[in-house]
Amino acid sequence: MTATVEKARRRTPGLVPGRDPLRLGRFSGVWRPRTVVVLVVAAAVLVVGAALNIGRGEFPISVGEVLSVLFGGGDQAQRFIVLDLRLPRTLTGALVGGALAVAGAILQAVARNPLAAPDIIGITMGASAAAVAVIVLSSGFGAVGALAGAVGLPVAALLGGLLTATSIYVLAWRRGVHGFRLVLVGIGMNAILYALVNWLLIAAQVYEAARAQVWLNGSLNARGWEHVVPVGVALVVLVPAALVLAHVLGGLQFGDDTARGLGIRVDAARTALLVVAVGLAAVATASAGPIAFVALVSPQIAQRLVGAPRPPIAASLMVGATLVVLSDLVARTAFGAAELPVGVITAVLGAPYLLHLLVRHGREARA
Amino acid sequence: MTQTATDGAGSALVAAGIRLRAEDVSLGYGDRLVVDGLDLDVTQNTVTSVIGPNGCGKSTLLRALGRLLVPSRGHVLLDGKRIDKMPTKEVATILGLLPQAPSAPEGLTVGDLVSRGRHPHQAWYRQWSADDESAVAEALTWTNMADLAERPVDELSGGQRQRAWISMALAQGTDLLLLDEPTTYLDLSHQVEVLELVRRLNREVGRTVVMVLHDLNLAARYSDRLVAMRDGRVVAAGEPADVITEPLLAEVFGLRAKVIPDPVAGTPLVVPVGTGA
């Protein structure tokens, strides 16, 4: 083992310990084997978890058969069940998980605060409030309701998320945005929007309230390709943007003065990063509801796995996708005939972590 | 002198070896004016220390010289050009700065911290070029930090941490360095160690340094020029022997003191008598 490491070192001799170079033409970066291992393992777990999830249902299909269908094999019935009926659910879960995790990674890094996840600072709640308003109002209120219903839930959620983020940013802005104030303003905004959602649920007809409640739990039930496409497009556009901006994000980890000294246009960079994060979080929420705590927990898990000083983008993406797919699998299998919404499982996993964060922050604040 | 320098005047400044100039600069935060109509020249290849009592505007001035603060009146010129009109990334290849008590994320290694200094030379697809690598290795060697490259910054001692940050500024490869109280929180031997490093950077590789210092005796020993400030104005500027005088100490610091020659370096040594209160 050590011999291979020594050999690898000799092949790519680094002048700086811990920062062996990886260079290909114009591209250069630091070779971080631990990140690569995490990405590969997460991808493997994701594929197996997805295959297990797809295989489950009234007509069970084995993992091997699911994988063979995914790579172009299988008979016609299997292809229909896997590709048309079941893949969209799992794919939506993976994409939504990845999008939420990247949004969380960006926000936590920009705010330099692990509490600054979109589900804590009210961005997913803003998207939810808009979506619930659409669900509840579209059947009442005549012309306005009909218009809201036609615009559709995803667009409403996106607008709600962006509007909330803009409000938080404006309220928290005081000659620049500071992470802690962003989190506090966001928590306040979250509470206001939560009250709004509750009011909508109380004011609504029983049937609409029930529909909204299922959506609010974060559910992957009855997801079709129409749910896959928006979040897929958002990921294809915004994740590369996030990876490009990650370089600047590294510089933003220091105080603003240090970052400016390094030639970073701090406010412009921060705004661009926030837009990317909010876009990802809002589109994800539109597709599957506010799946709780994925955006909070995944970047922190990824950060610990790769041993980085801040939430890493690519590893967060993979961890988030895997977390949601595995949670969905548990939600559908662990409770017999009752299939729970995926958000219930992620909440059970994530809530203790949030408590841990709050307790630790409280201790640090006192110390 | 209150006019903006034209290109002609700018190249005249460069020809005269004036790297940084503050021209009738007023600075403040909100409505509070901290520095009022200040003029200052920083000459190529010198170590300049700004001294003065707490709250006199030293750090504020340094932030303006490093384009972190835009003057409400007047301009800062870098190599004859208005620093606020230059792209910030271009400034970052000429001028490096070390803020007072900078903070690094928990768990960041020394190697990764110092490598961040290469940011102005990098792009998202070019994050660790051969140039970056050799500049970082050299910076770590200069500050004697190479052996600690894989250690997290938050686990270092105060002196090591400050050397790590100076390495980062060095890796940036700028020939101008602005250091805001680089010796704060350090014990005396580490203060001397940091200032000896600064002097070597100046003498051996021609870095021009402007720093804010509290300790008058160390400032006198390790600087070519001193700038004494009080209430946002420059009271005296020049060689240490001309600036550190008994009347000036009374005027700037309200301190009664004897000034004798430093038995080691021959520079002025301040021996306080009392505040005269």
Tens digits of per-residue pLDDT, A340-366?
A: 889 889 999 888 888 888 787 666 655
Q: Please indicate whether, in this complex, the C-beta atoms of A27 and B125 are within 8 angstroms of each other.
A: yes
* Domain's final residue, options B145, B173, B201: B173
Q: How far is it, in rounded angstroms, from Cα A101 to Cα A123?
A: 14
Examine the pLDDT at A143 and tell me if it is beyond 80.
Answer: no
Examine the pLDDT at A11 and tell me if it is beyond 60.
Answer: no
Please report whether residue B10 resides in a domain.
Answer: no
Q: Please indicate whether, in this complex, the C-beta atoms of B129 and A260 are within 8 angstroms of each other.
A: no
Residue A61 makes CB contacts below 8 A (sequence gap 6+) with: A54, A55, A69, A78, A81, A82
pLDDT band for A224, please (50, 70, 90 cuts).
Answer: confident
- Number of A to B CB contacts under 8 A, please give it: 122
Residues of A within 8 A of B68 (CB-CB) are 257, 260-261
Please report whether residue B9 resides in a domain.
Answer: no
Residues B41 and B149 in one domain: no
Q: Please indicate whether, in this complex, the C-beta atoms of A14 and B140 are within 8 angstroms of each other.
A: no
pLDDT band for A121, please (50, 70, 90 cuts).
Answer: very high
What pLDDT was estimated at residue B241?
A: 96
State the smallest CA–CA distance between residue A279 and chain B in angstroms: 21
Q: How far is it, in rounded angstroms, from Cα A304 to Cα B65?
A: 39
Residue among B88, B68, B67, B85 at smallest CA distance from B20: B67
* Domain's final residue, options B144, B173, B202: B173
State the smallest CA–CA distance between residue B99 and chain A in angstroms: 6
What pLDDT was estimated at residue A207?
A: 83
CA distances from A6 to A2, A9, A14, A36, A282 (A): 6, 5, 12, 18, 46
Examine the pLDDT at A5 and tell me if it is beyond 80.
Answer: no
State the smallest CA–CA distance between residue A169 and chain B in angstroms: 21
Q: How far is it, in rounded angstroms, from Cα A356 to Cα B7?
A: 59
Residues B188 and B245 in one domain: yes
Q: What is the mean pLDDT of residues A326-341?
A: 87
Q: How far is it, in rounded angstroms, from Cα A50 to Cα A73?
A: 17
pLDDT band for B2, please (50, 70, 90 cuts).
Answer: very low
Q: What is the mean pLDDT of residues B85-111?
A: 93
Angle between helices A313-333 and A33-55 (to 10 degrees): 30
What pLDDT was estimated at residue A144?
A: 55
Tokens at B106, concatenated: 């928990």
Q: Please indicate whether, in this complex, the C-beta atoms of A260 and B126 are within 8 angstroms of each other.
A: no
Residues B50 and B116 in one domain: no
What pLDDT was estimated at residue A151?
A: 56
Radius of gyration of chain A (CA): 22
Q: Tell me the pLDDT tens digit for each residue of B7-37.
A: 567 788 888 899 999 999 999 988 889 999 9
Write the ipTM.
0.91
Examine the pLDDT at A242 and tell me if it is beyond 80.
Answer: yes
* Domain's final residue, options B157, B173, B189: B173
Residues B73 and B194 in one domain: yes
Q: For an interface test with B, which of A9, A12, A15 has the most B Cβ atoms less than 10 Å from its Cβ?
A: A15
Q: Please indicate whether, in this complex, the C-beta atoms of B136 and A15 are within 8 angstroms of each other.
A: yes
Please report whether residue B231 resides in a domain.
Answer: yes
A260 to chain B: closest CA residue: B68
Please report whether residue B6 resides in a domain.
Answer: no
Residues B239 and B104 in one domain: no
Minimal Cβ distance to B124: which of A14, A247, A257: A247
What is the maximum alpha-carbon separation in chain A? 74
For the domain that residue B67 is a member of, what is the CATH number? 3.40.50.300
Site of tokens 């104030």: A181
Please report whether residue B50 resides in a domain.
Answer: yes
Percentage of residues of chain B with pLDDT beyond 70:
96
What mean pLDDT is reported for chain B?
A: 92
B30 to chain A: closest CA residue: A175
CA distances from A227 to A261, A316, B37, B117 (A): 44, 22, 62, 43
Examine the pLDDT at A293 and tell me if it is beyond 80.
Answer: yes
Please report whether residue B8 resides in a domain.
Answer: no
Q: What is the mean pLDDT of residues B133-142?
A: 95
Residues B81 and B190 in one domain: yes
Residue A352 makes CB contacts below 8 A (sequence gap 6+) with: none
Residues of A within 8 A of B127 (CB-CB) are 28-30, 247
Residues B164 and B182 in one domain: no
Q: Tell me the pLDDT tens digit for each residue of A42-82.
A: 999 999 999 999 998 888 899 999 999 988 888 899 999 99
What mean pLDDT is reported for chain A?
A: 87
Total count of domains within chain B: 2
Tokens at B265, concatenated: 């370096």
Q: Tell me the pLDDT tens digit for each residue of A32-43.
A: 999 999 999 999
Helix (H, G, I), strand (E, B) or coil at B273: strand
Residues B168 and B114 in one domain: yes
Residues B159 and B224 in one domain: no
Q: Please indicate whether, in this complex, the C-beta atoms of B126 and A27 are within 8 angstroms of each other.
A: yes
Q: Please indicate whether, in this complex, the C-beta atoms of A253 and B136 are within 8 angstroms of each other.
A: no
| Greater model confidence, B101 or B99 | B99
Q: What is the mean pLDDT of residues B158-181?
A: 95
Residues of A within 8 A of B99 (CB-CB) are 255, 257-258, 261
Residues B40 and B134 in one domain: no
A16 to chain B: closest CA residue: B137
What is the DSSP pairing of strand B18-29 with strand B32-43?
A: antiparallel
What pLDDT was estimated at residue B199?
A: 96
Q: Please indicate whether, in this complex, the C-beta atoms of B108 and A245 are within 8 angstroms of each other.
A: no
What pLDDT was estimated at residue B277?
A: 56
* Angle in degrees, CA B104, B110, B111, rounded to 5: 120
Residues of B within 8 A of A255 (CB-CB) are 99, 102-103
Neighbours of A175 (CB within 10 A): 8
Percentage of residues of chain A with pLDDT beyond 70:
90
Please report whether residue B2 resides in a domain.
Answer: no
Q: What is the dihedral of CA B203, B205, B208, B212, to 10 degrees?
A: -70
Tokens at A117, concatenated: 């996840």
Helix (H, G, I), strand (E, B) or coil at B21: strand
pLDDT band for A230, please (50, 70, 90 cuts).
Answer: confident
Examine the pLDDT at A280 and tell me if it is beyond 90.
Answer: yes
Residues of A within 8 A of B66 (CB-CB) are 261
Q: What is the mean pLDDT of residues B198-211?
A: 95
Residues B90 and B103 in one domain: no
Q: Please indicate whether, in this complex, the C-beta atoms of A245 and B91 are within 8 angstroms of each other.
A: no
Q: What is the span of the domain harbouring residue B250?
A: 17-94+175-272
B178 to chain A: closest CA residue: A261
Enumerate the β-bridge partners of residue A21: A30
Percentage of residues of chain B with pLDDT beyond 90:
86
Tokens at A47, concatenated: 């594929």
Residues B128 and B180 in one domain: no
Please report whether residue B12 resides in a domain.
Answer: no
